[in-house]
Amino acid sequence: MSIFQVLSLGATLLGGLSSKRSADRAADAANRAGEFNAELIERDIGLLERQREIINRNFLIEGKRAAKFFERDVQGGVRAGFGYSGIDMGQGTPVEVIRENAREFEYERIVAEMNNEIVNMQISDEQETARLNAELSRMEGGAQAAGLRASGTTSLIRSFGSAAQQAYEFGPFR
């Protein structure tokens, strides 16, 4: 076997090893990219949780404020109006008006509570979607990495096969 034939065999093997190493590096980069994307997506989960806390705090504050407003301004106005007119507050129309106002306030409070629960459910859905997207990003990175590694392994095997075929053709194994 001549020096050129030996060099040709060596170059074939080195090419396969180089392809394998490049594919492994690309696979590592694909894994890192998938993980990076997943971390960005997971950051959104934390932001959504902060949004939920702000909405819930606002709901509580707004509920307390509405109760004070209702008692002071609405019911107080009714009492003052009937009292100023000289109407007895203990029975009849004034009591019915106050009760009707109370029922309306309770209805509005229940609607606000239900709306707050719906917003919280929507945030929970968005968080779950973000979790799934992060998992999917990791899986895509892993799948791409596996494909690249398989491609590198295929290249390496082909180079061994080519080197073996060249060695056989050059004659020392005949």
pLDDT digits (tens, 9 = 90+) for 92-131: 676 777 778 788 888 988 999 999 999 999 999 999 999 9
Q: Does pLDDT of 135 surpass 70?
A: yes
Specify burial of residue 145 (Cβ count, 10 A radius: 0-12, 13-18, 19+).
buried
The whole-number pLDDT of residue 144 equals 86
> Token digits for 157?
């095997």
Q: How much is the pTM?
A: 0.62
User: What does the pLDDT look like over 66-89, one tens digit per residue?
Assistant: 877 777 677 777 766 666 666 666
pLDDT for position 89: 63
- Please report, to the nearest 10 degrees, the dihedral formed by the alpha carbons of residues 113, 115, 119, 120 taken in order: 30
Pick from 12-26, 86-100, 142-156: least confident = 86-100
pLDDT confidence band for 3 (50 / 70 / 90) = confident
